[in-house]
């Protein structure tokens, strides 16, 4: 069955130098540790490492191109990519993608300047604060509703990194941020000891690899992709990639 599946996919996709089908994935640029460049073809980062290993086990090669998140979704709607490497679900994305087995949890927390932590329990507790949010990020329906219902003041930045810089400078009072990005950034000397995280998460979801609904070849590979993800969880290689790419010292060793 697996052999017949690969033959079908090979007929639908261009072959790479190694004789394997080539899938074109997209991801948001400038999203460390997932992506380390703003645009162009990804050369490094957790997203590329994940999808490359999944492809190695599932029988395909991958090209990963980086864009702003809104551009990724527009291009998907226009049939320009076979999938997205690391993405969470919402209604807009469900219309464009079929989602793989979960990769790992997506967590969101509120971050404050050191010494100004507010132990919030409900969104009304954040009223009166200027909240940093990252353009294009899926913060969850609950946050979107709370921004409207509670009249929360938001300041939109281009990345979690940019929002943390604004937080330290006093341009925002707190930041809604992705746990994995924050973990990577707050281990760096420039942020260490300056920012602290509230205990309560504002969402707990899953990250997936997203396969474009328009891509017959990528959809045909989805069972093999799910099997690859399961095997990476079982043998510990998925956790090992997380540990490796969440270490900011890795960047100083990258040529």
The DSSP code sequence of 61-125 is: EEEEEEE-HHHHHHHHHTT--SEEEEE---HHHHTTEEE-S--EEEEEEEEEETT-----SSGGG
Q: Could you give the number of structural domains in the chain? A: 2
Same domain as 183, residue 137: yes
Q: How far apart are CA 217 and CA 73, in angstroms?
A: 19
- pLDDT band for 8, please (50, 70, 90 cuts): very low
> Both 55 and 15 in a single domain?
yes
**133-154 burial string, b = 16+ CB within 10 Å, else e?**
bbebbbbbeebeebbeeeebee
pLDDT at 1 exceeding the cut of 70 = no
161 shares its domain with 248: no
Closest to 27 (Cα-Cα) out of 93, 72, 79: 72
Same domain, 100 and 80: yes
Does residue 8 contact residue 45 with C-beta atoms inside 8 Å? Answer: no
Q: What is the mean pLDDT of the chain?
A: 91
pLDDT attached to residue 21: 94
Q: Report the range of poorest mean pLDDT among 33-47, 71-85, 133-147, 199-213.
A: 133-147
218 and 249 in a single domain? The answer is: yes
Quick one: 54 and 81 in the same domain?
yes
pLDDT at res. 10:
45
130 and 245 together in one domain: no
For residue 169, the enclosing domain spans 107-205
CATH number for the domain that contains residue 62: 3.40.190.10
Considering the domain architecture, whether residues 170 and 210 belong to the same structural domain is answered as no
93 & 42 share domain: yes
Model confidence at 198, pLDDT cuts 50, 70, 90, reads very high
Q: Are residues 211 and 89 in the same domain?
A: yes
Can you give the pTM of this predicted structure?
0.86
Do residue 97 and residue 222 come from a single domain?
A: yes
């Amino acid at each position: 069955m697996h052999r017949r599946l690969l033959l079908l996919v090979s007929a639908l996709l261009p072959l790479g130098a190694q004789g394997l089908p080539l899938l074109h994935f997209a991801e948001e640029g400038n999203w460390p540790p997932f992506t380390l460049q703003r645009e162009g073809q990804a050369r490094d980062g957790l997203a590329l490492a994940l999808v490359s290993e999944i492809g190695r086990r599932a029988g395909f090669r991958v090209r990963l191109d980086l864009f702003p998140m809104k551009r990724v979704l527009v291009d998907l709607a226009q049939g320009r990519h076979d999938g997205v490497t690391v993405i969470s679900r919402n209604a807009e994305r469900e219309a464009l993608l079929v989602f793989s087995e979960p990769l790992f949890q997506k967590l969101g927390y509120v971050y404050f300047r050191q010494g100004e932590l507010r132990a919030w329990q409900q969104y009304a507790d954040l009223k009166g604060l200027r909240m940093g949010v990252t353009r294009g990020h899926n913060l969850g329906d609950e946050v979107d509703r709370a921004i409207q219902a509670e009249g929360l003041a938001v300041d939109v930045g281009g990345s979690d990194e940019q929002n943390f810089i604004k937080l330290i400078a006093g341009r925002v009072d707190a930041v809604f941020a992705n746990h994995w990005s924050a973990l990577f950034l707050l281990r760096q000397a420039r942020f260490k000891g300056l920012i602290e995280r509230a205990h309560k998460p504002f969402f707990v979801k899953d990250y997936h690899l997203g396969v474009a609904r328009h891509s017959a070849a990528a959809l045909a590979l989805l069972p093999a992709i799910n099997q690859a993800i399961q095997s990476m969880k079982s043998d510990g290689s998925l956790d090992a990639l997380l540990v490796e790419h969440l270490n900011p010292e890795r960047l100083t060793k990258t040529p």
